[in-house]
Amino acid sequence: EVLEYAETKGIILRGESKKYGSDGWFRVTVGTKEENELFVNTILEFFGVK
């Protein structure tokens, strides 16, 4: 799952599925440019785009 994968990269995502009633929702806090690049690259890797 994406939450666990992100955590292996040092990124903590908060699952929001219960709050919004939709599986797969998570919350992201905006960080520095470098932190945002790490987040985007991690998500792309998880979905096999990069």
Q: What is the 3-state secondary structure (H, E, C) of 11-44?
A: CCCEECHHHHCCCCCEECCCCCHHHHHHHHHHHH
Name every residue whose Cβ is closer than 8 Å to that of residue 16 and which is 6 or more positions away in sequence. Answer: 25, 26, 27
Residue that has been written with the tokens 């903590």 in this structure:
12
Each residue's pLDDT tens digit in the chain (50 positions)?
A: 888 999 999 999 888 777 766 777 788 888 999 999 999 999 999 999 97
Give the distance, in angstroms, between the CA of residue 29 and the centroid of all CA atoms in the same chain: 10
Residue 1 is predicted with a pLDDT of 84
Q: 45 with 37: CB under 8 angstroms?
A: no
Residue 20 is predicted with a pLDDT of 65
Q: pTM for the complete prediction?
A: 0.77
Residue 47 is predicted with a pLDDT of 94
Residue 43 is predicted with a pLDDT of 94
Question: What token pair was written down for 15?
Answer: 């699952």
Residue 49 is predicted with a pLDDT of 93
